[in-house]
Structure 1
Amino acid sequence: MELLEGHCRMGGFQVVYAGATDPGRVRRCNEDNLLIYPEAGVFAVADGLGGLDAGDVASSTALAHLRELVPTPFAGNRFFALFNDKHPLRQLEAVVAAVNRRTYEHRMTLGKNMATTLAMVQLRGDKVVLAHVGDSRVYRWRDNALHCLTSDHSLVNELVRKGALTASQARQSSQRHVITRAVGAEPTVMPTLQQQPLAVGDILLLCTDGLTSMLSDRDIGQCLGNAATTIGGSVAQLITLANQAGGHDNITVVGVILLPIEEKSD
């Protein structure tokens, strides 16, 4: 596990971030990937679908295209010439559509059966825009409470919404890893998009299901709530805990904490 760490200033926040990916204890190939792109305020994780031909290729392809296409706050980004729409959610929708299309085209060129989940955020001033496809998640830690901002595109989640399964039954179901949407699976995909306000002290956590299948939300919240732990330490600890719980899948975690900007004294 290699921990990537850094910090930058965006809007009214000092942004400290960290991310890592680990194959876990069972699988030899790591089909997860992550993207840390602070210049654009973008952080993302992707989990190539297990059981298909090239999950690692799907996740890396999707994130490479995301980095190329995502709109940045800076003038001159060529994405604005392709998608002349400055509304954040419409812009993000266009980005995910382009990422999906290019990943699908790459799949067809290779002749591979491949697809991937995607969970991403982009910091924009005092707000964050989110997009997700599949069962990779985005959480927010605020006021000593953890809240999952995303809802899995999965078969068991659909059954829970319809009342056919309880949440407890869903967690134990043999079909809990079956997702209903994926990037690159079809020529088009429907992401779930949202915009959320940001506040000093917020922690955004992005992760693949290698973490959430091993640890409960309570476990994750306790780790993030440890004031003695840095965000890099929290990311590393979460991966360690997931491996200690069995490490049945690849594990990828990206954490972002928003701190006040320290004014320099004269």
Structure 2
Amino acid sequence: MVAVPEVSFALPNGSVTFSLSAATDLGSVRRVNEDSHFVLPPVVLVADGMGGHAFGDRASRAVVEVFQERIAADGPSDPDTVLAAIREANERIHAIRGPGGEQALAGTTLAGLAFVAMGEPTRHLWMAFNIGDSRVYSWSDTGLHQVTVDHSAVQELFEIGAISRAQMADHPERNIITRALGVDAEVDADVWLLPAGGVQSFLICSDGLTKELDDHLIARAILEFERDRPGDGLDGLAELLVAAAVEAGGSDNVTVVAVRSHLHGTGDDEDRSMDTAEVLEHLEQTQPRDEARG
């Protein structure tokens, strides 16, 4: 487990406090942990170096290094700064060289959240972003919801109706991703903007978690954690989920970051909690939902 202190920012007419939890594990099979994570609001992220690539660990670390250099940790960020950091990370991965000076075969997925300020008058938002199959989830008393949409072969098959969601977990192409940092000269992240207000909770993870635990099991683990440890703190949640994934098989590196924000007196969204149903109303609809499939 990585000990992460609580972080607070002063905002116009109020403040925001972040509770955090982070953990990573090699798993039961891999020899190298190619996952990296960054936990320093206003940005939290997970990068999963691409398995089978010679420098996946260096690729994921490059993402973290860029964000450490480019993101000021003294208040909200803005979408342009976050997107510029993603582009620079892609360029830095392309610059990775092997022992003989040759361009290395390196790549990584990326999923994260940025607490941003936009507009006049200023509004505070959560900016979720992803490239590949690492994920961002939101959760509340009403349930767990996947915010991001995987860039993967099975996701594309699901979207055209070729396979069901149940078939995705065991499909032979389940490990093929269709977008990653370090593969092409330019890369586009998918982005969702969620109004920030009251108390909100999010989970960011590499696919080492979701390979072993489906959404139902993740939600149940979070529910049991919050039942046994009531309050706003998240200490131990990421470690609990990582341990559960390793115990379930640990077929890959697994990394989890949990973050909970609490806005005080800002007027943002009436400074109230936003549940999963409200989050859904604001998500960009980039895929047919299960309900639409009947």
When the two structures are superposed, what TM-score results if normalisation uses the length of structure 2? 0.78
1:122 and 2:121 matched: no
Q: Secondary structure at the match of 2:6?
A: strand
Structure 1 residue 106, shift from structure 2 partner: 2.5
**Is the 1:3–1:232 contact (alpha carbons within 8 Å) kept by the matching residues of 2?**
no
Q: How many pairs are equivalent?
A: 248
1:93 and 2:83 matched: yes
Q: Secondary structure at the match of 1:9?
A: strand
**Is the 1:138–1:150 contact (alpha carbons within 8 Å) kept by the matching residues of 2?**
yes
1:16 and 2:19 matched: yes
**Is the 1:200–1:259 contact (alpha carbons within 8 Å) kept by the matching residues of 2?**
yes
Equivalent runs, 1:13-92 vs 2, <5 Å: 13-38=16-41, 41-70=42-71, 88-92=78-82
Give the one of 253, 257, 261 matched to 2:256.
253
The equivalent residue for 1:111 is: 103
**Is the 2:19–2:259 contact (alpha carbons within 8 Å) kept by the matching residues of 1?**
yes
**Is the 2:198–2:264 contact (alpha carbons within 8 Å) kept by the matching residues of 1?**
no
Identity %: 32
Q: Taking structure 1 as reference, are residues 160 and 196 closer, same or farther at Cα in structure 2, changes over 3 Å only?
A: same
Q: Secondary structure at the match of 2:169?
A: helix
Distance 2:176 2:250 in 1: 19
Q: Secondary structure at the match of 1:28?
A: coil
Distance 1:102 1:57 in 2: 10
**Is the 1:134–1:182 contact (alpha carbons within 8 Å) kept by the matching residues of 2?**
yes
The equivalent residue for 2:202 is: 204
The equivalent residue for 1:4 is: 3
The equivalent residue for 1:232 is: 235
**Is the 1:92–1:131 contact (alpha carbons within 8 Å) kept by the matching residues of 2?**
no
Distance 1:242 1:74 in 2: 34
The equivalent residue for 2:142 is: 144
Distance 1:107 1:119 in 2: 25
The equivalent residue for 2:165 is: 167
Equivalent runs, 1:166-185 vs 2, <5 Å: 166-185=164-183
Q: Taking structure 1 as reference, are residues 129 and 110 closer, same or farther at Cα in structure 2, changes over 3 Å only?
A: farther
Q: Secondary structure at the match of 1:106?
A: coil
**Is the 1:25–1:246 contact (alpha carbons within 8 Å) kept by the matching residues of 2?**
yes
Distance 1:142 1:233 in 2: 18
Structure 1 residue 207, shift from structure 2 partner: 0.2
Q: Unaligned stretches of 5+ in structure 1?
A: 76-85
Distance 1:206 1:174 in 2: 25
Q: Secondary structure at the match of 2:181?
A: coil
Distance 2:160 2:234 in 1: 37
Q: Secondary structure at the match of 2:199?
A: coil
**Is the 2:202–2:258 contact (alpha carbons within 8 Å) kept by the matching residues of 1?**
yes
Structure 1 residue 52, shift from structure 2 partner: 0.9
Structure 1 residue 195, shift from structure 2 partner: 0.9
- The one-letter code of the counterpart of 1:15 is F
Note the alpha carbon deviations across 1:4-24, whole angstroms, 9 max, x for none. 221011343321111111001
Q: Secondary structure at the match of 2:96?
A: helix
Structure 1 residue 200, shift from structure 2 partner: 2.9
Distance 2:79 2:236 in 1: 32
- The one-letter code of the counterpart of 1:197 is P
Q: Secondary structure at the match of 1:243?
A: helix
**Is the 1:142–1:201 contact (alpha carbons within 8 Å) kept by the matching residues of 2?**
no
Give the one of 182, 192, 195 matched to 2:193.
195
* Root-mean-square deviation over aligned CA pairs: 2.2
When the two structures are superposed, what TM-score results if normalisation uses the length of structure 1? 0.86
Structure 1 residue 112, shift from structure 2 partner: 1.3
